A and B are shown apart, each in its own frame.
Chain A
Amino acid sequence: MSIDLHPNRRRFLNSLVGSFSGLALSDLLARDGVLGGILHHPPKAKRVVQLFMAGAASHVDTFDYKPLLKQKDGEPWDPGETVELFQSTPGACFASPWKFRPYGQRGKMMSDIVAPLGDVVDDLAFIHNVEGKTGVHSQGTLLQTTGFNFPGFPSAGSWVSYALGSETENLPGFVVLPDHRGLASNGAKNWANAFLPAEHQGTVIRPGNDKPIADLFAPQSDFINAKNDRAGLAALSKLNSLHASARPGDDRLSARVRSYELAAAMQLSATDALDVSKEPQYIKDMYGLAPEGPGVDDSGTINEKAESEFFGRKCLVARRLLERGVRFVQVWSGNDNGFPRRNWDSHGDVERDHAPLALGMSRGAAALIKDLKQRGMLEDTIILWTTEFGRMPCSQGSKGRDHNPFVFTNWLCGGGIKGGTFGESDEWGFKPQDRGHPTHVYDIHATILHQLGIDHQRLTVRNNGIDRRLTDVHGHVMKEMLA
């Protein structure tokens, strides 16, 4: 199927930009997405959730079972080649502190700290041979969020929002749920629109905070009331539209007009989307919400109850946002480099840090998958689990693991992706088993775009004289993973 003839509608509408109705029409186009609802091929999926483990989650302690590490535990580690580590010299072979057990029809081996995902394992597509480019947190994070390991490129969520537009006028197309303890490496660059129109940047929402969305409501003041606030917004809209119609082509201006409209709509819609109080108790329990709510204590030690509440609440809010038409939700787990460490960067003590983080994550993720499935939404929602890079099969100190950018695990679920294992790491979990054919973030992104009805080679935007893509000049759709 070809769509080459269809952009006429877009061209026609574009030709009106600059005339009196230009602003409203260009706004309409943006809501439609650049593809104008006419995709490159019939889509299998409509929306995406990206679960991002900040600090770098260990594949060999979660989803990638390596019995050899147990056999050789404590022995000097010799993979037969030079090992270059990020901040240490290779220690001994280090068996995972957790038992691995078989789950699902295929008997997929997973560790006890991700056991809650056992219930949905048959729907998960594991890719154990993902290869990164860098063992540096900020670069590794950007590579997974934007497809480039240096700043200046749009987030995958921005590309999806740009291509498909928003399914709703009342919520943004791309929403980010950061860890409440801090932003990941690079901060807002992980959800930046870069050279795409400004309205496709991720909108940060902090479920559980007193003010989940910054500046959504007018500040407390003795001269602001509901009536003059509304009147002010109406006047502002008129004035900004006048100003923008005299300056066609500057998308920042229309994005700001649109953002005020969206904010007004979100005062109702977002408040509703974030209010989980009316969810039935069995749903709250499934997501692992704590009876005391977001204020659950994690001040002394990182603990499973708190991590379940934090990640589970974000997953539940993600489901509510997806139901209401949000295209792309980015959910972050872990971000605090203080002590005790509350992220996945377990240099010092994998057992102490990974157990609560992974149990909280897997409970929330499993609940999200089950919940989407029972609502009939899993078939057109893709869930991607990813992280910055993996961790080493050898120890750092005696209880930690250093960075492993050479191989790590991603998994996908839903949206026409079938369960199974697609790509293995070597017997150590050190590098891809077939070093000539690793999986890269480009392949993951190409596959996600494919399921959304987008050819990753044809979704381009010219910037600085180059037709830029989410997948740079790389990427292969992983056809073997498609149902």
Chain B
Amino acid sequence: MAGRMANRLQKEAPASAAEKVTLACRLTLGREPSDQELKILTAHLRQNGEASFARILFNLNAFMYVD
């Protein structure tokens, strides 16, 4: 699942890490990331790649539980 998400992000938001994070948050959480979230997630994506980043998203409490 994380691998497929990574492929989609590379295809649909190729420009920058921030763009990928924003798109991924829209897809998984239905909203844009907060400033703090953007910072943490962008840093992880830059260092560890899209697939590792997608694993985090799918394990977020914000993803698991709908408010």
Could you list which residues of chain A lie within 8 angstroms of chain B, going by C-beta atoms? 221, 223-224, 227-229, 231-232, 235-236, 238-240, 242-244, 247, 250, 252-253, 256-257, 260
User: Smallest Cβ distance from A248 to chain B, in angstroms?
Assistant: 13
14 A–B contacts, CB within 8 A, in A order: A223-B2, A224-B51, A224-B52, A224-B55, A228-B49, A232-B56, A235-B40, A236-B56, A238-B40, A239-B60, A239-B62, A243-B61, A253-B65, A257-B61
Residue B41 CB within 8 A of the other chain: yes
Contact (Cβ within 8 A) A223 B51? yes
B4-49 interface (Cβ within 8 A of A): 6, 34, 36-37, 40-41, 43-44, 47-49
Q: A232-B52, A235-B41, A252-B65 are in contact. Are A243 and B60 (CB under 8 A)?
A: yes
A256 (CB) vs chain B CBs: closest residue: B61
Contact (Cβ within 8 A) B55 A253? no
Q: Which of A235, A238, A256, A257 has the most CB atoms of chain B within a 10 A radius of its CB? A: A235
B3 (CB) vs chain A CBs: closest residue: A223
How many angstroms from the CA of A229 to the CA of B52 in the assembled complex? Answer: 8
9 nearest interchain CB pairs?
A: A223-B51, A228-B48, A228-B52, A235-B44, A240-B61, A243-B61, A253-B61, A243-B62, A232-B56
Beyond contacts A228-B48, A232-B53: 15 other A-B pairs, Cβ-Cβ < 8 A, are: A231-B48, A232-B44, A232-B48, A232-B55, A235-B41, A236-B56, A239-B37, A240-B60, A242-B36, A243-B60, A243-B61, A244-B61, A250-B65, A252-B61, A253-B61
Residues of B within 8 A of A239 (CB): 37, 40-41, 56, 60, 62
For chain B, the bracket of interface size reads 20 to 34
How many angstroms from the CA of A204 to the CA of B20 in the assembled complex? Answer: 38
Contact (Cβ within 8 A) A223 B49? yes
How many angstroms from the CA of A298 to the CA of B62 in the assembled complex? Answer: 46
User: Smallest Cβ distance from A349 to chain B, in angstroms?
Assistant: 48
How many angstroms from the CA of A223 to the CA of B7 in the assembled complex? Answer: 12
User: Smallest Cβ distance from A319 to chain B, in angstroms?
Assistant: 34
B34 (CB) vs chain A CBs: closest residue: A242
Residues of A within 8 A of B40 (CB): 235, 238-239
Contact (Cβ within 8 A) B52 A242? no
Residues of A within 8 A of B52 (CB): 223-224, 228-229, 231-232
B53 (CB) vs chain A CBs: closest residue: A232
Contact (Cβ within 8 A) A223 B6? yes
How many angstroms from the CA of A228 to the CA of B61 in the assembled complex? Answer: 20
How many angstroms from the CA of A253 to the CA of B59 in the assembled complex? Answer: 12
Residues of A within 8 A of B47 (CB): 228, 231
Q: A223-B51, A228-B49, A253-B61 are in contact. Are A235 and B56 (CB under 8 A)?
A: yes
B36 (CB) vs chain A CBs: closest residue: A242
User: Smallest Cβ distance from A263 to chain B, in angstroms?
Assistant: 11
How many angstroms from the CA of A209 to the CA of B12 in the assembled complex? Answer: 42
A252 (CB) vs chain B CBs: closest residue: B65
User: Smallest Cβ distance from A410 to chain B, in angstroms?
Assistant: 40
User: Smallest Cβ distance from A225 to chain B, in angstroms?
Assistant: 9
Residues of A within 8 A of B62 (CB): 239-240, 243
Residues of B within 8 A of A227 (CB): 48
Residues of B within 8 A of A253 (CB): 61, 65
Q: Which of B48, B49, B60, B67 has the most CB atoms of chain A within a 10 A radius of its CB? A: B48
B44 (CB) vs chain A CBs: closest residue: A235
Residues of B within 8 A of A257 (CB): 61
How many angstroms from the CA of A223 to the CA of B59 in the assembled complex? Answer: 16
How many angstroms from the CA of A244 to the CA of B67 in the assembled complex? Answer: 11
Residues of B within 8 A of A236 (CB): 56, 59-60
How many angstroms from the CA of A235 to the CA of B56 in the assembled complex? Answer: 8
Contact (Cβ within 8 A) B44 A231? yes
Residues of A within 8 A of B48 (CB): 227-228, 231-232
How many angstroms from the CA of A256 to the CA of B65 in the assembled complex? Answer: 11
Contact (Cβ within 8 A) A256 B3? no
Residues of A within 8 A of B44 (CB): 231-232, 235
Q: Which of B43, B49, B59 has the most CB atoms of chain A within a 10 A radius of its CB? A: B59
